[in-house]
Amino acid sequence: MRSAAWGVAAVLALSGAGQGAVAQMSACAKADFEAVVNEAGAALRDLNRENTPRFQGKLRELKDKRGWGNDQFLKEAEPFVRDGEIVAYDHKSEQLLNRITGGGQQGSTAAAPDCAVLAELRAAMKVLVETQKAKWTHMFAKIDKELAK
């Protein structure tokens, strides 16, 4: 998305049109840093809201299929929500989230906003969302494979 915006800016600059638009696209404000943090939180909430109920439904389906009691279910379900890959996804996500929130706070309190840092934070947010999507894909693949047995 960022490259498309810069492509538009380049076309406008080469054509001599839209000089104000080019200047505006290269400027950023302190509020933009806060927005990145808010966007990251909203994206994570949306992913969880979309995937958690479906995943829990599949876990209940597996519980019923296997005839597990509640205690056995807690034990048997753990590998579907906690394995080495999931731990790695969670660790990467935590690092990215810390980077986004730290950079967002730093950028919103800086005397002059650094637009390059803002671009890095937006890139980190994109990687964070991709990481969480990959985690959900992994978890669904595991539970679907087990349900197919």
Q: pLDDT at position 30, please?
A: 86
b/e 85-123 (16+ beta carbons within 10 angstroms → b): ebeebeebbeebbebbeebbeebbeeeebeeebbebbbe
pLDDT averaged per 10 residues, the chain (length 149): 36 38 60 88 94 97 95 94 96 94 86 91 94 98 96
Position 9 scores a pLDDT of 35
Q: Which two tokens stand for residue 85?
A: 């890959």
Give the model's pLDDT for residue 22: 37
Confidence (pLDDT) at 55 = 97
Lookup: tokens for 72: 């056995």
- Note the pLDDT of residue 12: 33
Helix (H, G, I), strand (E, B) or coil at 18: coil
Give pLDDT, residue 49. Answer: 97
Query: Would you state the structure tokens that stand for residue 139, as one six-digit string?
Result: 């978890």
pLDDT of residue 26: 56
- Say what the pLDDT of residue 105 is: 85
pLDDT at 42: 93
Q: What is the dihedral of CA 15, 20, 22, 28, to 10 degrees?
A: 180
The whole-model pTM stands at 0.77
